[in-house]
Amino acid sequence: MRTLLSVATGPPTILLTTAVVVAMCFWGLVAVGLTSAGSFDADADLGAWGLGGVPVAVAVSLLAVAAWLLSVGGILLLTVYAPPSPATGLLRMALPAAALLAAWRLTRLFVRPLHRLCPDEPGPPDRGGARDHLDHAV
């Protein structure tokens, strides 16, 4: 437990831990009715990042939690199984960035089925095909 706490609050994972704490506080405010899940939808459009179709807060929260889990899990594995060395230290610093990239890919996969639960949100951009053909025919 002590190792988990030191990994979660140590550099560089503390940045992702902070993002998860902020997301938890936001969802706490949503739960008590002080704000809504769609609060940030007018401010940001995540469709270009492949995260459209759900409220921005949902996509960013999923991204933060997935990146945190991957980063903490990877650093825990390094701490337990890899001997301390300069290469391990560099890998420990690079792991959160790699976890963020992997979390973005995972979040894109999670957002697609969630789009059906949020019909008011615009879906991911159409990649051409039948829709372009219909637009030109009208």
How does pLDDT run across 71-119, given as a tens digit for each residue?
999 999 988 888 888 888 888 889 999 999 999 999 999 888 777 776 5
Confidence category of residue 130, pLDDT binned at 50, 70, 90: very low
* Confidence band for 125, pLDDT divided at 50, 70 and 90: low
Supply the range of the domain harboring residue 102.
2-137
Give residue 19's pLDDT: 93
pLDDT tens digit string along 1-31? Answer: 888 888 888 888 899 999 999 999 999 999 9
What pLDDT does 138 receive? 42
Other CB atoms within 10 A of residue 40 CB? 17
Per-residue pLDDT reduced to its tens digit, 37-77: 877 777 677 777 878 878 888 889 999 999 999 999 999 99
Query: What's the CA gap between 104 and 64, in Å, rounded?
Result: 9
Spatial distance between the Cα atoms of 55 and 37, rounded to a whole number of angstroms: 7
The rounded distance, in Å, linking the Cα atoms of 126 and 118 is 17
| CA–CA separation, 110 and 95 (whole Å) | 22
0.85 exceeded by pTM: no
- Domains held by the chain: number: 1
Cα 96 from Cα 69, distance rounded (Å): 10
